[in-house]
Amino acid sequence: MTDRVALVTGGSSGIGERTAARLHEAGFTTYAVARRVERMKALADAGVTTFAMDVTDDSSMTAGVERVLADHGRVDVLVNNAGYGSYGAVETVPIDEARRQFEVNLFGLARLTQLVTPGMRECGSGRIVNVGSVGGKFYEPLGAWYHATKFAVEGFSDSLRLELAPYGIRVVIVEPGPIRTEWNELARAHLVASSAGTAYERQAEAVRARMESGDGPMMSGPDVVGRTIVRAATARRPRTRCPVGRGARSVVTARRLLPDRALDLVIGRLYS
């Protein structure tokens, strides 16, 4: 395993940090990248190579992949983990913010996939692990832009899986449920800020309260996702999608079994 090379985005905290640590422990030569390099000191001290990368900047992504290829000549596993949640009413969230949500959560993921695919194809092997969300299966009021990106990651990953299968490249989508990271706090803050003084302020407070109430026993730690990603990176025949964390499978099952009107009723009551 020591000659296998992994690149993990969003490595400065939460799922990305734990994934990079777990891959390193599993014997991968591991690179963790993020905008906040100073937040990755513990990973660097543990032996993970860290450097800055901005997944909204093409030159940053290109230079980063070229650096890994110059060091080792290959990327065996790409973990597309970088992302954030932009919450607020469709009416009031500026369209530039909506575009940024897609740039980070979808287009950065897609561009890095483009950059590593040629080398994987030439080697006849590789793993691309896209960190989606159960938010790509269900929906919430005032979460349209975030959920749109995660629904998009689902469709992107499914098509990509078929596209790359003839070349020995496996594509896995990981679907975390509620995970105890700074994501939830930042999403709540953006929701409140984007809704202040608008017709949606009262509704936003209900959604914020619901999100905050889930920030506790129902949440799993990020390490459970890191372990799942290591399995996806090492299994001979990895599962195509992996719901992970408390409640993740229940959400996926509810989406599959309940008609839209019934699910609308359930979600509406949760966020009222």
pTM comes to: 0.93
Look at residue 157 in the predicted model and tell me its pLDDT. Answer: 98
- How many domains does the chain fold into? 1
Q: How far is CA 81 from CA 78, 162, 176, 217, 255, in A?
A: 9, 21, 11, 24, 24
> Pairing relation of β-strands 49-52 and 77-80?
unpaired
Q: How far is CA 38 from CA 88, 91, 93, 250, in A?
A: 30, 37, 31, 37
What residue numbers bound the domain in which 254 lies? 5-270
Distance CA 79, CA 70 (A): 19
pLDDT in tens, the chain (272 residues): 458 999 999 999 999 999 999 999 999 999 999 999 999 999 999 999 999 999 999 999 999 999 999 999 999 999 999 999 989 999 999 999 999 999 999 999 999 999 999 999 999 999 999 999 999 999 999 999 999 999 999 999 999 999 999 999 999 999 999 887 777 777 888 888 888 899 999 888 888 888 776 655 667 899 999 999 999 999 999 999 999 998 899 888 999 999 999 999 998 888 87
Count CB neighbours of 251 within 10 A. Answer: 19
**Catalytic annotation on 87?**
no
Strand partners, 8: 32, 79
Write down the catalytic residue from 146, 167, 200, 271.
146
CATH of the domain at 107: 3.40.50.720
